[in-house]
Structure 1
């Protein structure tokens, strides 16, 4: 028996499914699944999960779990700080499906709102860091710094493999740096620069923390100059709020700036998700990893935004890629950028000054206590106190007041202030240290920055001068600005996003509800264990459920993106081989159809990529696999395969493939991108795989957020469990792939709620419905567009590939034309040209009801009819509704209309509801122009609106 929620999550009801089954040619869903899934991998039992419950029951359970967390005042610091999310941003971005259900802006014409928001983010970062170009966000500070390290290695002209790291670096950052460095042969050289140690004679880069982990603020200009003299590039991990008062990294000569935007209105969330940032000086922008928003123009010559310089990225460069970053933290980057828009430069500076004032007051009080020494004269928000032998006693005293301080060691305590710090909390901190004068902190007048920030480091000059940061300071203006931007975008709240490999399914409101509860949102990732019992329970339960669903023995939710899950899985394989004295095993076999992150992750894990061919049906060519195994038998480390295949087919040879690799001593990695076709019916950990990463932002309902947040847990067999990622603050031989032990823990309640409400029967029903929907689309469209691949019985898995290449050859109408014309019909395009150029990969998911599926099918059939008009010569090849798509309201209502088709055909094609029409804000965008003109030297976004 399924819970009531199941019928709300799954779109087609029983009668609709019967209609769809008839079109596919099967009498029942189980009959279809028996035919589609190879018997060799079929799981016929029932998942050992609790039965599904109602939405109300799930919320009640989550309330109980949340109640086991203790919301204290976090004064621990280390890159994580209390912040206030403005209510207008919380309600209209974080809690708004127009923002959180959007997809990555690969179709820029229907993504102009979030692209503008991301351009604001990039502008905010470049202004505050003093750099030239910033990307559109990173996964967290630690991964941003790790990417900066590899960027420096690529760009430095020295041959050194040594990377110098300031000892005053955040410990979690250092842990991730070491994880990334070791497989690449990079040597981390820790240098106590504050203690007078010299830079190593030969190094390709230098990493500096600004302010340091100890809170100290110092002038790095001489160090930067010394590093440059050695041919090294310098990265400064800088606190953006501090940079409103401190000289920027660019001003002291740094090459790269990296860090986090968490304290710009993004909740702590026990470690994430938060938007990291990465910015570079002029000349390094083409080496910058991640997504980059640039300015281009559309077919009418009007300004438009798009993702730029994508030739840098892993999906194109594959094993030659220098980063496996496949996503960003768009939703959180939007929040951070809007925080800066809302407060403006004056508001941000006032928040920073108040934060610094509180820290200065803390220090002033501590200096009055015998036996307490304030270690650093210069600081921004963090005061380091020397309390010989009394550190634990001070922490315990503060804890009685509900305040968490940082235990540095037995003799040192660190106190970090932030936007939320109050005078009474400073008083309680004083009390914990034994400051004699009770109630002394009663006045709120600003403390001069000169008292604790050296004059030579005080920031001068303007920043955030762009009009967007100086306009929307009232809630009315901010509300309308956010609405204008969201109106320019297409997200799941408007209609289906049928993207193959991306599983854009329902993100139910009940699943989202707990994310903003203080008991989940306001927990510091390094809070004492006794305060996070609820989180630890939720994580353990979720990891156990995911292990059961996948058939593995252990799971870690630490990876905060699918790409990081891939890396963690491959590092587990690497660690396993090395533990057995087989470090020479370094060849990773990857099918030619694989997603680009697979090859990039393998290289980052220190492996050599060997490509395995695919046969005419899109399956792994087992004969070529045999040849590659034999050739590399002694060095074989792993094979990475996606199942069902990247082509959307249940390959019958998967069990044989696993056996062949195991026989040769290798491990099998199954990419979990297509797990939505397996849950409840097949378990990778039981049909031969050793490790998988999962995408909670696909199969388990965490929303895509316009390209992040994501969670990419890694699941392994028992023999690999000891090699899973470890806590970045714990010393040892383990590796950490993100800055927090549980990664983006703040959004794990979403997937917990999905699994809890669906139960084992509901999860299986979702899989079956997704497979039925894909086969229904394939059956209905097959006579209009060839379905490129199918498995046994002519069935696909959860997605199907429509081949547009014959159409293009015959008529000149391209896959781009079809994708852009779908916008006029009110749809986001399917995945274009992946895994096969000139094709569309359609994944309808289980959440779309029959009416929406039929609307999409009707649109595709109508577009084929328009293509036939072009083929018949009714419309010229260069002037037809497809070549000119998408059509804006401005274009359709222009005084002059010279096209050989009507305005009605352009803007209101067959089946489009004239009362609910989505109008794209721009026409087709010129990608080449955008790559040539990367940096925005343009009017304000408001001018563009007008």
Structure 2
């Protein structure tokens, strides 16, 4: 008889190898079960620390039904709150062909440019969009949110300002409140004084090293800042302007009135509200400051054939490679969201964007005229889309009436309310708003009559005169057919998880299951404003409460904050919590952070950002922390020891036996233990950092917990803490704890949290443990298959690795001249993204297969690596020329194949080195990219019309 119980198939769908494959892989490693393997990998001292349990998971259908019920508890009011967040229409072809397309959302950061030309082009479009609208010559490929971008601008001004005598930063009271909160959080550990005030009342600009202005102001005013900027410049201070990109289609851009930095959010360019994120921030500056700009920068270079090719500009990306000397710990971006914004601009074009902006402004002007007829005074003489209304004693009643009509007004104070309009505003919306303000029995203004005579309320002296978006890319793809094909063309240039395994060590490129992704685009999650009244977000509250409990169970910690919207922000929030804890106990002097020399570069960068001094500890020959060196330095600095930052399993891909002893040493000397959760995918269900010595860990939801990398973002980096640190988790003006915000929105990138909720709910404790075991199995299987061809650099006491392994290419290079770069580029010819290159050890490849890859894909990768090793042997013995060989010339393009062939090896060996490629060949669009040329000839926007025409 058929078993009629509901079966949860998801665990087997998520995990790649089938049962027979698992048995074969275990046999090759010499184990009879997964439990036996993991028992040999996990150190005795931390076994049994997991508190996850063996709860069964939900089926995909059941999980979707449950989260649908949760989503229904969110109320979708018509929102006019504004404050940096606006309703928008995501064009359907962008929704379907980009946001919901795994070719875009499963891609990795474009560190390998030859296989990333599509998303790099989309990001170059974003940079061009921002540069054009801001009036500044260089823009980055996005930051995390507007408030974080403002904080980066503050430290940017501090570094570059010639007014070295000042430690004060002026921030206009007209900035968005959440921006001011994040500024204060960032400034305090750095001893920067943030002075919030009215810029019109500044008497001595020399008192400040820099300033932040809002344009238009948060309350709606449009100020002419030209004279003020000149005053700041005369005092050797720099000026940053937080500007609305849509407004800049109509208003004089910041770069044209002297601003040194323009920053803000691209959210209203097609990205849903999503309860606060993820949204792409932008940052633009002057050409003279380009080397100091935070974040990533896409630049134009050439490949080895002299053909134009894009890549990340080395000097301006990943500033954390400078470790404690870094100016920022930002190591990610919001690529997927920046790409949506860039395609929104491509689709609408300059005329379309201007038309949207004019319509938004006209709606605002019509509403203001109608309010006057209802007896209300608007405070702004000039405005774009936002009004502040003197509502006096009727304020509370207006909010009550608005709620009855399912409308949210902005809460300003007891005497005023605010309203902001956007591209979703229509006649019915204005009439509903007038109904809120109209006295009983008072007739409503006539929209039709007012629309006929509406006059602009933009200041004539600040109207934009310069053209925008003249490049052909913004003037061609305006039909859906054209945009669909453009997106397909770009996606075809790239390698993402929908094509092949991406074996990046430390980056955990695992399956982003379709069922996990489905709720992301539901209106119940996407249409909620982050500052809507709490009673309207009960679904989000349930979701976040349950997810926090899930993550506590997975890690063994007592409390979790979901606010940090990137791993770098999680690190930052974790160290802020440790710092605040010490200060609360009167230990203000504790400012030493011990960091092993193998640590992620973000660790020392983050420590510097919270005012800690980094002391590096040694590693032994096996890559483990040198415990005696650690002990000596902890004792030496015991009176000032604040924290240890350590990655576990180690950055070298092994479970260090002495982790409990290491934690005890730090605790005995008064410090706290921060365990970097980048490698959590080896531990869930097997051991728990909160139970073997950790006080705080950040978790990469875009690694272990299945949020997609999105081509380099979004990410989510919540922190788990022990009970004594819970009072020091990030706060927010909209939360019980009001101070300590690290992100603009209370729950950071809230709209993608359903992905992790779905993953954990469907896997259950049983599935999560199995995923960790399979991640360990897959890594050890690859290490075993490749160890006779490539030295495996580090392993644990039983000769096993954790969830990743490091192959040492250095002796191979010494013998053959073939470098780690050559191997990485040759893998492209086999249809693979390269493993992580030269981290944590120069000249190595770090491989992490994840549990989601099948044995067939693992074997395909191993076969490729073995074939490459055989080619290297051919170079070593002279059968292949040491300079003109398939590795030095990789990757090979289709164009090269049909041209004159000047190589001693065959075309077939170049592009079909294994027979399986004949059935599904990935063709790289460019040859090997010349990074040095690109950095010496830095071009970071779409080429000029003249250059385009010449080409």
1:455 and 2:447 correspond:
no
Structure-2 change in CA distance of 1:219 and 1:688 (3 Å): same
User: Which residue does the alignment assign to 2:877?
Assistant: 872
User: Which residue does the alignment assign to 1:387?
Assistant: 391
User: Which residue does the alignment assign to 1:363?
Assistant: 368
Report 1:337-356 matches (<5 A). 337-356=342-361
User: Which residue does the alignment assign to 1:644?
Assistant: 649
Report 1:158-557 matches (<5 A). 158-159=163-164, 160-194=166-200, 196-310=201-315, 313-370=318-375, 372-434=376-438, 436-438=442-444, 440-442=446-448, 445=451, 451-557=456-562
Q: Is the 8 A contact 1:557 1:742 kept in 2?
A: yes
Deviation at 1:876, TM superposition (A): 1.3
1:849 to 846, 854, 857: 854
What is the DSSP-based 3-state SS (H/G/I as helix, E as strand, rest coil) of the residue aligned with 1:390? helix
Deviation at 1:437, TM superposition (A): 3.2
What is the DSSP-based 3-state SS (H/G/I as helix, E as strand, rest coil) of the residue aligned with 1:813? coil
Report 1:661-810 matches (<5 A). 661-729=666-734, 734-810=739-815
Q: Is the 8 A contact 1:701 1:751 kept in 2?
A: yes
1:882 and 2:887 correspond:
yes
| C-alpha separation in 2, matches of 1:944 and 1:828 | 34
| C-alpha separation in 2, matches of 1:73 and 1:317 | 47
1:915 and 2:919 correspond:
yes
- Gap regions ≥5 residues in structure 1: none
What is the DSSP-based 3-state SS (H/G/I as helix, E as strand, rest coil) of the residue aligned with 2:779? helix
Q: Is the 8 A contact 2:252 2:463 kept in 1?
A: yes
**CA deviation map 1:148-194 (0-9, x unaligned):** 11111111011111000101110000000000001111100111125
User: Which residue does the alignment assign to 1:90?
Assistant: 95
Q: Is the 8 A contact 1:360 1:447 kept in 2?
A: no
Deviation at 1:520, TM superposition (A): 0.3
| C-alpha separation in 1, matches of 2:216 and 2:704 | 40
1:112 and 2:117 correspond:
yes
| C-alpha separation in 2, matches of 1:351 and 1:666 | 55
| C-alpha separation in 2, matches of 1:149 and 1:746 | 28
Q: Is the 8 A contact 1:191 1:199 kept in 2?
A: no
What is the DSSP-based 3-state SS (H/G/I as helix, E as strand, rest coil) of the residue aligned with 1:792? coil
Deviation at 1:732, TM superposition (A): 6.6
2:638 to 614, 630, 633: 633
Deviation at 1:729, TM superposition (A): 4.4
Deviation at 1:366, TM superposition (A): 1.3
**CA deviation map 1:601-644 (0-9, x unaligned):** 00001100000010000000011101211221110000000000
Structure-2 change in CA distance of 1:945 and 1:103 (3 Å): farther
1:892 and 2:875 correspond:
no
**CA deviation map 1:233-282 (0-9, x unaligned):** 00000000000011100011000000000000000000000000000012
- Gap regions ≥5 residues in structure 2: 1-5
What is the DSSP-based 3-state SS (H/G/I as helix, E as strand, rest coil) of the residue aligned with 2:448? coil
Deviation at 1:199, TM superposition (A): 4.9
Structure-2 change in CA distance of 1:721 and 1:76 (3 Å): same
User: Which residue does the alignment assign to 1:567?
Assistant: 572
| C-alpha separation in 1, matches of 2:619 and 2:919 | 47
**CA deviation map 1:875-900 (0-9, x unaligned):** 11110000000000111121x11101
What is the DSSP-based 3-state SS (H/G/I as helix, E as strand, rest coil) of the residue aligned with 2:44? coil
Q: Is the 8 A contact 2:731 2:741 kept in 1?
A: yes
Deviation at 1:944, TM superposition (A): 11
Deviation at 1:716, TM superposition (A): 0.4
Deviation at 1:747, TM superposition (A): 0.1
What is the DSSP-based 3-state SS (H/G/I as helix, E as strand, rest coil) of the residue aligned with 1:795? coil
| C-alpha separation in 2, matches of 1:351 and 1:708 | 28
Structure-2 change in CA distance of 1:233 and 1:446 (3 Å): farther
What is the DSSP-based 3-state SS (H/G/I as helix, E as strand, rest coil) of the residue aligned with 1:40? helix
What is the DSSP-based 3-state SS (H/G/I as helix, E as strand, rest coil) of the residue aligned with 1:702? coil
| C-alpha separation in 2, matches of 1:388 and 1:720 | 43
Q: Is the 8 A contact 1:324 1:563 kept in 2?
A: yes
Q: Is the 8 A contact 2:296 2:316 kept in 1?
A: no
| C-alpha separation in 2, matches of 1:515 and 1:730 | 24
Structure-2 change in CA distance of 1:801 and 1:315 (3 Å): farther
| C-alpha separation in 1, matches of 2:449 and 2:465 | 27
Where does structure 1 differ by over 6 angstroms across 4 or more consecutive aligned residues?
939-946
| C-alpha separation in 1, matches of 2:10 and 2:405 | 42
Structure-2 change in CA distance of 1:225 and 1:86 (3 Å): same
Q: Is the 8 A contact 2:104 2:491 kept in 1?
A: yes
3-12 vs 450-459, which moves further = 450-459
645-654 vs 218-227, which moves further = 218-227
Q: Is the 8 A contact 1:562 1:694 kept in 2?
A: yes
| C-alpha separation in 1, matches of 2:946 and 2:749 | 32
What is the DSSP-based 3-state SS (H/G/I as helix, E as strand, rest coil) of the residue aligned with 1:898? coil
**RMSD over aligned Cα atoms:** 1.7
| C-alpha separation in 1, matches of 2:437 and 2:534 | 23
Deviation at 1:934, TM superposition (A): 1.2
| C-alpha separation in 2, matches of 1:409 and 1:730 | 18
Q: Is the 8 A contact 1:176 1:728 kept in 2?
A: no
Q: Is the 8 A contact 1:275 1:330 kept in 2?
A: yes
What is the DSSP-based 3-state SS (H/G/I as helix, E as strand, rest coil) of the residue aligned with 1:793? coil
User: Which residue does the alignment assign to 2:29?
Assistant: 24
Structure-2 change in CA distance of 1:686 and 1:484 (3 Å): same
Deviation at 1:439, TM superposition (A): 5.7
1:825 to 803, 824, 830: 830
Deviation at 1:310, TM superposition (A): 3.4
| C-alpha separation in 1, matches of 2:251 and 2:737 | 36
What is the DSSP-based 3-state SS (H/G/I as helix, E as strand, rest coil) of the residue aligned with 1:634? coil
User: Which residue does the alignment assign to 1:33?
Assistant: 38
Q: Is the 8 A contact 1:175 1:729 kept in 2?
A: no
| C-alpha separation in 1, matches of 2:449 and 2:228 | 39
What is the DSSP-based 3-state SS (H/G/I as helix, E as strand, rest coil) of the residue aligned with 2:447? coil
Deviation at 1:399, TM superposition (A): 2.0
| C-alpha separation in 1, matches of 2:948 and 2:913 | 31
Q: Is the 8 A contact 2:206 2:236 kept in 1?
A: no
| C-alpha separation in 1, matches of 2:687 and 2:505 | 20
**CA deviation map 1:786-842 (0-9, x unaligned):** 000000110000000000000001110000000000000110000000000000000
User: Which residue does the alignment assign to 1:904?
Assistant: 908
Deviation at 1:438, TM superposition (A): 2.2
| C-alpha separation in 2, matches of 1:579 and 1:451 | 54
Q: TM-score, normalised by structure 1?
A: 0.98
2:592 to 587, 591, 607: 587
| C-alpha separation in 1, matches of 2:870 and 2:161 | 55
| C-alpha separation in 2, matches of 1:552 and 1:829 | 35
Q: Is the 8 A contact 2:212 2:241 kept in 1?
A: yes
Deviation at 1:392, TM superposition (A): 1.8
